[in-house]
Amino acid sequence: MARMTMREAISQALMEEMDRDPSVFILGEEVGVWGGTYAVTKGFYDKYGPKRVKDTPIAENAIIGAAIGAAMVGQRPVAELMTINFAFSAMDMIVNQAAKLRYMFGGQFNLPLVIRAVGGGGRQLGATHSQTPDAVFAHFPGLKVVSPGTPADAKGLLKSAIRSDDPVLFIEHATMYQVRGEVPEGEYLEPIGKSKIQRPGRDLTIVTYCKGLELSMKAAEELAREGIEAEIVDLRTLRPLDMAPVLESFKKTNRAIVVEEGWKSFGVGSEVASRIYEQAFDYVDAPILRVAQKEVPLPYNRTLEQAALPQVADIIAAAKEVLR
């Protein structure tokens, strides 16, 4: 397998799908001539031309609206939002139109739409450009929400998202484009809606996804030096949420923590913990703890920003707490 960055894996997935299916096209702010804000679509404009790589005005509502219309008539648009924070400007299109149209019209048409959006903090972009509102979008039935934590999953899940006949919000973390990993070449798909055990263990279960996976793997390595073996379950998809591997792991370890970058209140960790309590209460040997961002708008100052974001040390402390 080739070893590549998250950026390269996403770019490769897009290019392979555009080569395979002429109905796939890209639209968004600066995706063409500029090559994308994070250089994911660099070179695409020269290869595919303006009909399949469309630079748009700074108008997120129009970007998603145009993509919805194209999807309804048989195209497979991949709409890029420069940041998931700008998705708030297109909320009606995303959660009232894309997520609901197939239901409201009784399945008379498909809606094969992918919305790529960059989320997360850690780049000193300020409170309004550094949010992790994944749980907000996962709340709405009809919209699939995917957020990979490895380059291999980024490629496999994005290819599956593009081939899906339902709308998919594909969230990429702003600080993970340089993360490297082994990625299968060619026809490689990962199923949407399937969690995955990324690290086997026996002492406790860490449930996480996206940036949380990177932090949890580092925490698990440090815990292992002290004889604590953590099993890490990567959700990968927030809707539909696959709890089967989580519950299987928890029934083995009897202890769990949930790691996410979003705020703790009303978040992904709350949902996961609640489902464990509901479906595996007899196996609970300690309270399920949540590691998340501090409940403040994310500061611009780097020191304060890092203090607000979840860190490896926070995961280690939570792990030791549930094992105490």
The residue length of the chain stands at: 324
pLDDT of residue 215: 98
So what's the pLDDT on residue 186? 82
Q: Do 234 and 216 form a contact (C-beta atoms < 8 A)?
A: no
Q: Looking at domain 196-323, which CATH architecture does it have? A: 3-Layer(aba) Sandwich (3.40)
What is the four-CA torsion angle of 9, 82, 75, 102, rounded to 10 degrees? Answer: 110
Q: What is the rounded CA–CA span in Å between residue 306 and residue 222? A: 20
Longest dimension (CA), the chain: 60
Pairing mode of beta strands 76-81, 230-234: unpaired
The dihedral sign for the CA sequence 100, 174, 20, 152: negative
1.10.3470.10, 2.40.50.40, 1.10.3720.10, 3.40.50.970: CATH of 2-183: 3.40.50.970
Decide if 46 contacts 76 (C-beta within 8 A): no
For residues 318 and 13, give the distance between their C-alpha atoms in angstroms, rounded to a whole number.
36
The answer to whether 153 and 131 have CB atoms below 8 angstroms apart is no
Q: What is the pLDDT of residues 144-191, one digit of tens each?
A: 999 999 999 999 999 999 999 999 999 999 999 999 999 998 899 999
What residue spans define the domains of the chain? 2-183, 196-323
What pLDDT does 1 receive? 86
Q: What's the pLDDT score for residue 185?
A: 85
Catalytic residue annotation: 60, 129
pLDDT recorded at residue 25: 98
